[in-house]
Copies of this chain bind each other. A is one copy, B any other.
Amino acid sequence: MSRSTQTTRERILDAAEKLFADRGFHGVSVREIAREAGVDVALVNYHCGRKSDLFETVFLRRAETLNSERLAMLKACRDAAAPAPPALEDIIDAFTHPLLNRSAHGGPGWKRYFALVAQVNNSPELAPIGMTKYFDPLVQEFIAALREALPEAAEEDIFWSYHFLSGALTLTFAETGRIDQLSGGVCRSSDLDSVHARLVPYTAAGFRRLCQPR
């Protein structure tokens, strides 16, 4: 959608998404958002309410699309395997692929959104609100599938394994460029297809090591 056909509200949300992703909730002023959107300051309030509401709107906006896509993929891999339990790699793929795929190929708005998710997930201030509210119901579905795929696993091991997956995934979203620097250019933060090809086997191996009898 071209810039001129966007509604004012959408322009504000896109500008907010970009700036929040770069510097976090507190690092951005409403005035900056208005400037970035090419819109008067007063319109931010008019269309999106107070700053904290604006932040929540930005965070929620893309969550629903993502989550229904991930649930559909989970259901597909369950149905394909039934009556056997779904394969571990397929569950992890359903969890991660819709995200990494959109971050890689969905355009700059999606990319910025995931960078924002990375910050929220690691913030003691924001994670209990943002992540729990919009993502945890979905995560519970995935945990249930993981239980089926790893029937001998202890509950704790499944949850901690999921936690490690979540950390690896969200740091990837942050695209801080650190791995580029560290590897001298061998790896590129933005090359999410390469990441995905590695994240699934890496975490699947971790899950198996923790969750299967030794």
A131 to B178, CA, bound (A): 8
User: Number of copies of this chain in the oligomer?
Assistant: 2
**Residues of chain B within 8 A of A209, CB atoms compared:** 201-202, 204-205
Contact residues in B for A132 (Cβ distance below 8 Å): 178, 181-182
Contact partner of A122 (CB less than 8 A), chosen from B128, B174, B195, B201, is B174
A152-170 CB mask vs B (1 if < 8 Å, else 0) is: 0001110111111111111
A136 within 8 A of B: yes
Q: Which range holds the interface residue count of chain A?
A: 35 or more
For the residues of A in contact with B, the DSSP-based class is helix
Check: A183 CB closer than 8 A to any chain B CB.
yes
A43-97 at interface with B (beta carbon < 8 Å): none
Q: Is A194 an interface residue (CB 8 A)?
A: yes
Distance between A73 CB and nearest chain B CB, rounded to angstroms = 20
> Are A203 and B201 closer than 8 Å at their CB atoms?
no
The contact sample of 20 A-B pairs, CB cut-off 8 A, is A21-B124, A24-B123, A24-B125, A26-B26, A27-B125, A119-B123, A124-B174, A127-B174, A127-B177, A132-B178, A155-B183, A156-B187, A159-B179, A160-B187, A160-B198, A160-B202, A163-B195, A168-B168, A204-B209, A205-B208
